[in-house]
């Protein structure tokens, strides 16, 4: 079954391609981007593209073969399941468009999820690492912006795309309340307190009160490009440079988000509240951000003493 059938031919006109209809139905640019990658990967298994793949011609034997090929390729179970979800979504659109019969559709989407797990991606930062990052932020526009990025990640759990999308009007400076537009056009409130609020106040004192992007591009000479919205890629690069300067290894914006989740859970916050802070619709998603178990395993390993000393075992 791992052999992809050769009876699939690219005959579907692009104008009625159910994959394009499926992508258009997704709620956000990020979702469309991620699932486009998934569909590209599926189409490449048949040496095709999203546009040339005849999705409506896929049948049960074809989708099972595709699933087996994904597994054989060494993809993580979560990646395979995401691709299968995209495939089901496309086939549903093919049925809705009248390109596929109900029986063929139901059989083709009868795909079992792939079981298994891998070690969690990324990591959460320790208190000393967060302190080192903030200490490396000097009292310049660049340093203060970097401090705000760290603060928004660690205390509010914001995604880098959410940081980049913030406008000045989204921040209630009097009460430290930030309105965040997240995935799926969902809006939530987060609260900036303590040192994070001080950093934001310092940034606003430099940025001014002009309408537009809350977090702006800062030039090398320190000039703030008010109205020039920072990008998600720029946020990633700024944190990478800051981590290198602080001597902290392997820090990404999402690691700050994982740190927020783990710290809140460590402090006894219930997981439903943490899910609300992070903007998760399902607490099962939040559980994947919990790094407490890994820290507990590290502490447990430290309790086991192996009485080996370098050179001592070679003594006659």
Determine the longest span between alpha carbons in the chain, in angstroms: 83
Instruction: Write down the catalytic residue from 159, 160, 258, 291.
Output: 159
Instruction: Write down the catalytic residue from 69, 123, 280, 291.
Output: 280
Pairing assessment for the beta strands 187-191 and 216-218 based on DSSP bridges: unpaired
**Burial of 72 by CB count in 10 Å (0-12 exposed, 13-18 middle, 19+ buried)?**
exposed
| Alpha-carbon span 174 to 300, nearest angstrom | 45
Q: Tell me whether residue 257 is one of the annotated catalytic residues.
A: yes
Q: Tell me whether residue 217 is one of the annotated catalytic residues.
A: no
| Alpha-carbon span 230 to 163, nearest angstrom | 9
Q: Tell me whether residue 289 is one of the annotated catalytic residues.
A: yes
Instruction: Write down the catalytic residue from 36, 181, 254, 288.
Output: 254
DSSP 174: T
Instruction: Write down the catalytic residue from 289, 291, 297, 309.
Output: 289
Instruction: Write down the catalytic residue from 160, 257, 258, 291.
Output: 257
Instruction: Write down the catalytic residue from 62, 183, 217, 288.
Output: 183
Q: Tell me whether residue 92 is one of the annotated catalytic residues.
A: no
Three-class SS state of 227 = strand
Q: Tell me whether residue 159 is one of the annotated catalytic residues.
A: yes
Output the CA–CA distances (angstroms, integers) from residue 304 to 291, 292, 298, 299, 307, in the order listed: 21, 19, 11, 9, 10
Q: Tell me whether residue 280 is one of the annotated catalytic residues.
A: yes
- Catalytic positions, written as ranges: 159, 183, 254, 257, 280, 289
């Amino acid at each position: 079954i791992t052999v992809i059938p050769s009876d699939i031919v690219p005959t579907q006109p692009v104008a009625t391609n159910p994959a394009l209809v499926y992508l258009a139905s997704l709620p956000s640019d990020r979702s469309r981007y991620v699932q486009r990658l998934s569909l590209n990967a599926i189409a490449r298994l048949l040496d095709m593209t999203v546009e040339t793949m005849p999705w409506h011609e896929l049948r049960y034997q074809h989708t099972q073969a595709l699933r087996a090929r994904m597994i054989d390729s060494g993809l993580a179970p979560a990646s395979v399941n995401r691709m299968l979800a995209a495939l089901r979504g496309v086939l549903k659109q093919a049925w809705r468009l009248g390109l596929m019969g109900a029986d063929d559709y139901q059989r083709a989407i009868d795909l079992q999820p792939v079981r298994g797990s891998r070690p969690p991606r990324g990591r959460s930062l320790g208190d000393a690492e967060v302190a080192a990052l903030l200490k490396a932020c000097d009292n310049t526009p660049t340093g203060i912006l970097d401090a705000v990025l760290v603060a928004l990640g660690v205390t509010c759990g914001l995604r880098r795309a959410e940081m980049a999308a913030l406008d000045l009007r989204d921040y209630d400076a009097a009460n430290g309340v930030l309105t965040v537009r997240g995935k799926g056009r969902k809006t939530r409130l987060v609260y900036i307190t303590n040192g994070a609020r001080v950093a934001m106040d310092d940034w606003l004192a430099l940025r001014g009160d002009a309408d537009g992007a809350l977090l702006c591009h800062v030039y090398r000479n320190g000039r703030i490009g008010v109205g020039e919205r920072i990008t998600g890629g720029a946020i990633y690069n700024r944190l990478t440079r800051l981590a290198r300067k602080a001597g902290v290894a392997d820090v990404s914006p999402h690691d700050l988000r994982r740190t927020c989740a783990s710290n809140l859970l460590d402090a006894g916050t219930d997981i439903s509240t943490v899910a609300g802070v992070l903007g998760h619709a399902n607490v099962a998603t939040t559980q994947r951000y919990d790094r407490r178990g890994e820290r507990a395993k590290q502490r447990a390993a430290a309790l086991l003493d192996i009485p080996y000393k370098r050179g001592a075992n070679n003594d006659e």
